[in-house]
Amino acid sequence: MKILKMVLLLVLLPTALLASDLKGNWVLEKSEIDYKVTHPLHHVVGKSTQARGKGYCTSTQGKFIVAVPVKSFDSGDGNRDTHMLQITRGADNPLIAVNVQFSAPVEKAFPKEISANLEIQFAGKTVKYPKVKLGMVPLEAGRVQITAVVPLSLKAFDITPPSLLGVPIEDAVPVQLEMTWKKQ
Amino acid sequence: MGLNKFILVGLLLMICGLTPLFAENTFQLNEYQPRLVVADANVASDDSLNVNDLGFSQADVQSDLSQKDLDTREDMLKIHQILGLTTEGFLLTEFVVGLATAKNVANGSTDTSLVTDLGWATLAVYSATAAFEMFAPKPKNKKHSGNTAIHEALSWIHLPLMVLVPLTGDMINDRLGSHQPLGNLPVVHGVMATALVLTYSTSLLVITF
């Protein structure tokens, strides 16, 4: 009978971890969001640490929202940041909002990676990015680090690529997200 | 295999196969794991996932300039950029013509009309270039940084030079017209003109590359 109890404990422990690790309400504790712009003469990285977010995870799904002010991005050049604000219609649409939705994984106690559907509201447009890989690393004290790269396209958001000496920047502007979420 | 062992193995197989799929149900039914049920009960409803609930203030998100002002600024800076490149063309031409004129004057010529006319034209295009930047709408709380800061700092050198170089050129013309000795004035004019071309070209290069 002792053996049965031991085996039952070993079998049930992973499911306990799954539920306790992901389920519940989460809040974005800190983040760094970078966008990368490529031009034959320049490689520019704009950063923001002003994102805020919240969400929840049940046993079946996770739903999160993350938003960041357009004006909070710093590329190291104030004039370029103002230009970015202009071309992305940042005065009329001051927030970039990302809705994240995923099905809760059941096969592992704590997945290293999950596939999420993203809906990004930016520059007055909403674009869906399905099956974006989110890397997950469990941290201490109910925290999780999430990393992802969103393959943002300027055309998708009707943004005219800015040009220098008549040469426009590349349409692909990959956005790297590094976030630490805390369980509430 | 005895009946007890058979039941035990069957039970284990069933638990192994089904618990990952019904993890929540298993734990909600398990009275010894109340924390997990509580976690589910506290899970936010879908309605609460709204950007308005993230706690951003108006100051956090609102741009200093309206979209109309941002567009106007962009249009004016585009003209500033085109006129700036045109000014560079005028400046370099003026510099070359100035060197040739200085050589002619040293050989006794008093004709400086081409360099003078070109100088005034350069000043006019330069002034228009500067005006489109000066009068463009600016964000209140935005400080210049990066290459734009260098571009602006250099303007504090080439702007006064753009006034002094034509003035000294005009003084040289006056002295040539009244047959007075030129003294060190051509040297001063030449040094300032060289500094003007260098600082202006540098300010253009840093903003481009």
- What does the pLDDT profile of chain A (184 residues) look like in tens digits? 566 565 554 444 444 444 446 788 999 999 999 999 999 988 999 999 999 999 998 888 999 999 999 999 999 999 999 999 999 999 999 999 999 999 876 555 678 889 999 999 999 999 999 999 999 999 988 899 999 999 999 999 999 999 888 899 999 999 999 999 999 8
Q: Which pLDDT does position B24 carry in this prediction?
A: 35
Lowest mean pLDDT among A67-81, A146-160, B1-15, B163-177: B1-15
Name the residue of chain A whose CA is nearest to B64's CA: A91
Q: Per DSSP, what are the bridge partners of residue A152?
A: A173
**Domain with A82 in it:** 2-183
Q: Distance of CA B10 to CAs A13, A168, B4, B111, Å?
A: 19, 66, 10, 111
Residue B42 has pLDDT above 50, yes or no: no
Identity of the residue in A78, A86, A91 whose CB atom sits nearest the CB atom of B148: A78
Task: Please check whether residues B11 and B108 belong to one and the same domain.
Answer: no
Task: Please check whether residues B75 and B99 belong to one and the same domain.
Answer: yes
Total domains present in chain A: 1
pLDDT band at B77 (very low <50, low <70, confident <90, very high): very high
Q: Is the ipTM of this complex over 0.95?
A: no
Residue B139 has pLDDT above 70, yes or no: yes
More confident residue, B137 or A6: B137
Total domains present in chain B: 2
Name the residue of chain B whose CA is nearest to A74's CA: B145
Please enumerate in sequence order all residues whose Cβ is within 8 A of that of B163, keeping only pairs 6 or more positions apart, or say none.
none
Please enumerate in sequence order all residues whose Cβ is within 8 A of that of A173, keeping only pairs 6 or more positions apart, or say none.
A35, A36, A37, A152, A153, A154
Quick check: B62 contacting A, CB < 8 Å?
yes
Residues on chain B touching A78 (C-beta within 8 angstroms):
142-146, 148-149
Lowest mean pLDDT among A74-83, B21-30, B73-82, B99-108: B21-30
What's the mean pLDDT when you consider all of chain B? 82
DSSP label of B44: P
**Domain with B54 in it:** 3-61
Tokens of A43: 């490689």
Identity of the residue in A16, A91, A92 whose CB atom sits nearest the CB atom of B33: A16
Quick check: A81 contacting B, CB < 8 Å?
yes
Quick check: B19 contacting A, CB < 8 Å?
yes
Residues on chain A touching B147 (C-beta within 8 angstroms):
77
Q: Which pLDDT does position B140 carry in this prediction?
A: 85
Please enumerate in sequence order all residues whose Cβ is within 8 A of that of B184, keeping only pairs 6 or more positions apart, or say none.
none
Residues 143-172, chain A: which have Cβ within 8 Å of B? Answer: 164-165
Tell me, what CATH number does A176's domain have? 2.40.128.110
Q: Which pLDDT does position A89 carry in this prediction?
A: 96
The SS3 of residue B99 is: helix
Q: Per DSSP, what are the bridge partners of residue A172?
A: A153
The residue of B11, B42, B49, B52 whose CB has the most chain A CBs within 10 angstroms, and thus the best one to mutate to test that interface, is B49
Q: Which pLDDT does position A7 carry in this prediction?
A: 53
Task: Determine the Cα–Cα distance for residues B177 and B185; give it in Å rounded to an integer.
Answer: 14
Q: Which pLDDT does position A130 carry in this prediction?
A: 94
Give the gap in angstroms from C-alpha B137 to the nearest C-alpha of chain A.
Answer: 11
More confident residue, B194 or A140: B194
Task: Please check whether residues B50 and B131 belong to one and the same domain.
Answer: no
B146 within 8 A of A76, measured Cβ to Cβ = yes
Task: Please check whether residues B21 and B95 belong to one and the same domain.
Answer: no
Task: Determine the Cα–Cα distance for residues B43 and A62; give it in Å rounded to an integer.
Answer: 10
pLDDT tens-place string over residues B142-162: 678 889 999 999 999 999 999
Task: Determine the Cα–Cα distance for residues B158 and B192; give it in Å rounded to an integer.
Answer: 9
Q: Which pLDDT does position A12 carry in this prediction?
A: 45
Tell me, what CATH number does B130's domain have? 1.20.120
Task: Please check whether residues B16 and B108 belong to one and the same domain.
Answer: no
Task: Please check whether residues B185 and B125 belong to one and the same domain.
Answer: yes
Residue B76 has pLDDT above 80, yes or no: yes
Task: Please check whether residues B196 and B180 belong to one and the same domain.
Answer: yes
Task: Please check whether residues B57 and B73 belong to one and the same domain.
Answer: no
Residue B3 has pLDDT above 60, yes or no: no
